[in-house]
């Protein structure tokens, strides 16, 4: 089985964020044709328990899954990976030291200090002979999010720390730089991250607001994109239906 690390940017190009603690959200995104779901614990009130249920659905459907954790804490990396995530997406990584600490949290000794717990979904609950806990850990992807001027300036060191992928967060990056969305300054910052990642042979993703914009960004060289989220999709569809009725 190919690892999430090797699939990012190849047969995993299109993802979306999941904000509702509903297995049906994951199911619907799989039916819609997304390659990846990102369970969003940073910008939702969802618990790790709810996330674990969504990860089980993703695994059953053969959809890759990342958990966007709410902080850099070791426990979020450990619990997300043990719950069966294909990897973690870590927000606000600004320098090599932070990246090194995350790499250590995501790997077993001697490379890191992740706790060894095969009695979890990632380990097949220690009863599934077809699950190799060590292999599952090696296959998981550590994706760090670049969303500040500091992160852009330190991108080479972040990449050299041993991360598996980087991800540009245009919304936070726009605010951090004081640059308007769609501005040349913002595009230049994203391009600096992309160019450094490509030089290092590491996949680079980016968030997008629409499918059309996501396609454009991949055509420009980004390896994968995460577009929209279940909550906004539902709201936009409902709004359009109501507007059509009341016109």
Structural contact between residues 17 and 229, judged by C-beta atoms closer than 8 angstroms: yes
Q: Which residue is listed with tokens 């459907």?
A: 61
Structural contact between residues 240 and 233, judged by C-beta atoms closer than 8 angstroms: no
Whether 43 sits among the annotated catalytic residues: the reply is yes
**SS3 state of residue 234:** helix
The dihedrals phi and psi of 88, each to the nearest 5 degrees, come to -125, 145
Tokens of 220: 């420009």
The dihedrals phi and psi of 6, each to the nearest 5 degrees, come to -80, -20
The rounded distance, in Å, linking the Cα atoms of 136 and 53 is 18
Contacts of 200 (CB under 8 A, 6+ apart): 156, 159, 160
The dihedrals phi and psi of 121, each to the nearest 5 degrees, come to -60, -40
Q: DSSP characters for 78-111?
A: HHHHHTT-SEEEES---SHHHHHHHHHHHS-TTT
Set 43, 72, 107, 113: catalytic member:
43
The rounded distance, in Å, linking the Cα atoms of 55 and 214 is 24
* Nearest one of 228, 182, 195, 232 to 209, comparing CA atoms: 228
Q: Which residues are catalytic?
A: 43
């Amino acid at each position: 089985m190919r690892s999430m690390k090797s699939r990012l940017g190849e047969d995993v190009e299109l993802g979306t964020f999941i904000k509702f603690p509903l297995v049906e959200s994951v199911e619907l995104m799989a039916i819609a044709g997304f390659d990846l779901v990102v369970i969003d614990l940073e910008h939702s009130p969802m618990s790790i328990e709810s996330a674990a249920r969504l990860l089980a659905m993703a695994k059953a459907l053969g959809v890759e899954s990342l958990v966007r954790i709410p902080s850099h804490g070791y426990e979020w990396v450990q619990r997300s990976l043990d719950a069966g995530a294909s990897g973690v997406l870590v927000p606000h990584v600004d320098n090599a030291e932070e990246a090194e600490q995350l790499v250590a949290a995501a790997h077993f000794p001697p490379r890191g200090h992740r706790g060894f717990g095969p009695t979890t979904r990632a380990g097949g609950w220690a009863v599934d002979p077809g699950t190799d806990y060590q292999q599952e850990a090696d296959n998981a992807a550590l994706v760090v999010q670049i969303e500040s001027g500091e992160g852009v300036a330190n991108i080479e060191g972040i990449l050299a720390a041993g991360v598996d992928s980087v991800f540009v967060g245009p919304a936070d990056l726009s605010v951090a730089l004081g640059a308007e969305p769609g501005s040349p300054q913002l595009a230049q910052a994203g391009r600096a991250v992309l160019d450094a990642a490509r030089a290092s042979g590491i996949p680079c993703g980016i968030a997008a607001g629409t499918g059309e914009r996501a396609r454009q960004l991949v055509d420009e060289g980004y390896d994968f994109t995460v577009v929209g989220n279940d909550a906004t999709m539902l709201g936009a569809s409902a709004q359009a239906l109501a507007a059509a009725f009341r016109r």
